[in-house]
Amino acid sequence: MTSKERVMKALKREKADRPACDLRCTPEVWEALFRYFHVDKPEDVLDKLDVDMRWITAGSLPFIGPRERSTPTLGGEGTDIFGCVMKAAKNKYNTYYEFSEHPLANCKTAEEVYEYSWPSLDWWDYSEIKGIIKAHKKTDDRAIMFFAGGTFETPWYMRGMEQFLVDLYENPDIVNAICTKVGEYYYQRALRVIDAAEGEIDIIGSGGDIGGQECLMLSPDVWREIIKPHTACLVEPFKKMGLGTFYHSCGSVSQVIDDLIEIGVDILDPIQVTAKNMQPEYLSEKFADRISFHGAIDEVELLPNASPAEVYKETQRIISILGKNGGFIVSPSHQVQGDTSVENITALFDAVKDFRYI
């Protein structure tokens, strides 16, 4: 069975020869893995671990737009394509990038939003996509996901989180204008990628962190009224094209999983098991017959603090719960952070390789 077949079975909640798997890491962890495996590219690490699912983002493509708006969002100091300005914030394990300027912070009307200098679809060289995908398929036919973007986070990046959350109640026209423009851009860019890839894209990803530790960050009713239609614009059209669909949100999102299923989400990520009502047992009982899961190997406590043997045991336990019908792609519950050892990462994937469905 190929990697791609394994992932596509997980989307359909069918058992494969073993669970499908995935991995995301911070740059510092990639560097540690490069040293461990004596390689110098993420795709080579993923091949060593036999990781099935591969992410392609716009950041994977050559940027040919204006240099003054060329910094990857949350990937460096500078200004991104949307005009958001980022500054470095460091701890002893990782460097992160936080927003210091929000370009739409002072807009008073929806008209000002529409008049803003929005990025061009022509700022990317899409012709390179096939070569990028080919690099991921050197050792097996892998499942390729293009992560399109999101219509909740990018809008608040541009507006500022506090003001955006206030706008949901006081200025919904501004929220809808920003979400519409962002959604249109991400949708059209994904179409260009799909076209350039000539059938090599299997899944379209989208998302935005709407969950807190106990519940949604906003009222579920407000989310359904204002944000859900924009969320659907990066899910439903691709589902109708026959592609798999993937949605990312950290935190507790159980209140709206039924809604995500309704708009056509196939895979829910990252299953933050320490958040309320996101435990594997709860999710399996409530939703496993209607949606597949991605993630769930705890990056908050387990991976940084447990022994390799404990990581192995817990990974197999979670697979037996979330993957009992095959609908589970095993992965850390977010990017692996710099306080996680390489030995714990390899223990996770050893558990995946050794697991066999009954």
pLDDT digits (tens, 9 = 90+) for 189-208: 999 999 999 999 999 999 99
Evaluate whether 74 touches 86 at the Cβ level (below 8 Å): yes
Does the model's pTM come out above 0.75?
yes
E strands, the chain, are 20-21, 53-56, 78-79, 85-90, 95-101, 143-149, 203-207, 244-248, 267-269, 292-297, 328-332
Six-digit token string for 213:
């530790």
How high is the pLDDT of residue 220?
98
How high is the pLDDT of residue 142?
98
Q: Is 170 left (phi over 0), alpha (psi -120 to 50) or beta?
A: alpha
How high is the pLDDT of residue 35?
98
Q: Over the range 247-257, which residues count as b (16 or more CB within 10 Å of their CB) and which as e? A: bbbbbbbbbbb
Evaluate whether 333 touches 271 at the Cβ level (below 8 Å): yes
How high is the pLDDT of residue 161?
97
**How many whole angstroms separate alpha carbon 324 and alpha carbon 317?**
10
The enclosing domain of 254 has a CATH number of 3.20.20.210
Tell me how many domains the chain contains.
1
Residue 256: which domain range? 3-354
**How many whole angstroms separate alpha carbon 214 and alpha carbon 239?**
30
Beta-sheet pairing, 203-207 with 328-332: unpaired
How high is the pLDDT of residue 348?
98
Six-digit token string for 56:
């392609």
Beta-sheet pairing, 143-149 with 95-101: unpaired
Query: Within the chain, which residues score under 70 in pLDDT?
Result: none
User: Which residue, among 274, 267, 159, 155, has the nearest Cα to 210 in the 3D structure?
Assistant: 155
